[in-house]
Amino acid sequence: MQIKVSAPARINAEIQLPASKSISNRALIINALAKGAHTPDNLSDCDDTKVMIKALTSLDETIDIMAAGTAMRFLTAYLSVTEGTKVITGTQRMQQRPIEVLVNALRTLGADIEYASNEGYPPLRISGKPLEGGAVSLKGNVSSQYISALLMIAPVLKNGLKLTLTGDIISIPYINLTLQLMKDFGAKAQWTADDCIEVLPQPYTSVPFTVESDWSGASYWYQMAALVAEAKVELLGLFPNSYQGDSKVAQLFIALGVETTFTSRGALLTKTGTCCERMDYDFINEPDLAQTFVVTCAIKGIPFRFSGLQSLKIKETDRMAALIAELGKLGYVLREEENSVLSWDGERQPISANPAIKTYEDHRMAMAFAPACLGFPSVTICDPQVVSKSYPYYWDDLTKAGFSIEKED
C-alpha cells in the first residue's frame, strides 16, 4: 500500500504525542528485574513496546520480537539473567543485524548464549541463570543499546558491573537516560571516569513510574513547523529537563526558524522568520534525529554536513543509503563520506517521474519524508503502516493538522 500526502497552507494544531518508546522499553525491563507489583503508567502503544510487553509475559519458548531492535538487545541481556531457556528471533532484517558485540560481553560475564543459525546474528538460544558479573570492556562507538542492555542487568549481578568503554563514545544521552531510570528504581550506578561506569550489586526496588512523551516523535512536528509558511503547534506532554537526549531538537531547530516555549501542558512551537544559510552538526549523540534534519535542510535548500552517523548503518535499514536514494528521487544529490557523514552542497538533479518514497521497513523514513510534501505538491509514501513501530497514529495526527492523506493502489 502507499499513500499520497498533501500539505495545508498553514498549521495550527494541538498534538498529543505518543509516550516515549525509549523510556517505556527501559522501564519495562527494569521493572521486570525489580519483580515489581507496579506497572509503569502511560506506556507507549507502539509496536516495539507491545513486543516487549508480550515477551516479558509470554510462557512460549520462542520469542519473536519482529523488527524491534531495542527489544532484541535489551531482552538478550534480560533473558541471560532470567531462569529458563528461550529462543529469541525476529524479522529477516533483524536476523541480519549484528549482535556479536553484546553476546561476547554477556559471555564474559558468564552468560549461556548460542547462535541458533548464523554466527554473530539472531536468532539466539539463551539459557538464563544467575551471573557473577564483574568487569567488561566494550568499544564506545557500538550501539548504545548494547551498553544500556548490560547496564540494566548490572544491579542483579552478584558482583555488579564495571563497564569500560574504549575509543570514541557515541549516543551518551541514551546511556545517561538508562542510568537515570535505573536510579529511579533504586540502583546505584554512575560514571566513575570519562570512560568507565560502575554499578553496585544492589537489586532494584519496584516504584510507581509514569512515562513522558516522545521527543523523537516531536521532531517531525518541528520539521513541519520549519517547512510550512505559518505554524503554531502545541505538543502535549513535553517538558524541559527531559531525560531524553532527543530533546536537543528544540535547541537545534532554532537555527531552522522554529522557537519553543514551554507551557504547563507541553511545548509550543512557533516560527521566528529567521533561518541559517548552512547547517553543520555532529549527530553522534542524537542519531535518531538525523533523518529529520537531512530531509528538512534539503527541502529548505540549506546545504549541510552531518557527521556522527555511523550507527545509522545498522538501524532498521541502512539509513544513510536510504536517505541518499530517496532524496535522490526528489532531485537532491547527497554524498556519503567515511561511513559516518552525509552532506549536501546544494546540487540538484532531475526529479524522478512519479517518485514514490520507499520506507525500507523503517518508521523514521516514513515520518521524516511525509513533511517533504510542504516543498512539493504532494509526496507518495510506500508502506506507511511502518509508523506503528513508534508512532501508531502519526497519519491521524497529520490529518488533524490539515494534511490530506489519500490511499493509492
Catalytic residue numbers read: 288
Residues contacting 109, CB < 8 A, separation 6+: 80, 131, 132, 133, 134, 136, 150, 157, 161
What is d(CA 327, CA 293) in angstroms, rounded to the nearest whole number?
A: 12
Q: Exposure of 78 by Cβ count < 10 A (0-12 exposed, 13-18 middle, 19+ buried)?
A: buried
* DSSP letter for each residue of 61-100: SEEE-TT-HHHHHHHHHHHHTSSEEEEEE--TTGGGS--H
Q: List the one residue out of 379, 338, 398, 388 whose CA is nearest residue 361.
A: 388
What is d(CA 78, CA 83) in angstroms, rounded to the nearest whole number?
A: 10
* DSSP letter for each residue of 8-67: -SEEEEEEEPPBPHHHHHHHHHHHHHTT-S---BS---SHHHHHHHHHHH---SEEE-TT
Say if CB 359 and CB 5 are below 8 A apart: no
Q: 118: how many CB neighbours lie within 10 A of its CB?
A: 10
Q: List the one residue out of 114, 159, 120, 115 whose CA is nearest residue 136.
A: 159
98 sits in the region (left: phi over 0; alpha: psi -120 to 50; else beta) called beta
Say if CB 366 and CB 383 are below 8 A apart: yes
Q: 69: how many CB neighbours lie within 10 A of its CB?
A: 20
What is d(CA 69, CA 55) in angstroms, rounded to the nearest whole number?
A: 13
Q: Which sign, positive or negative, has the C-alpha torsion 291, 180, 38, 109?
A: positive
Identify the helix (H) or strand (E) that includes residue 154: none
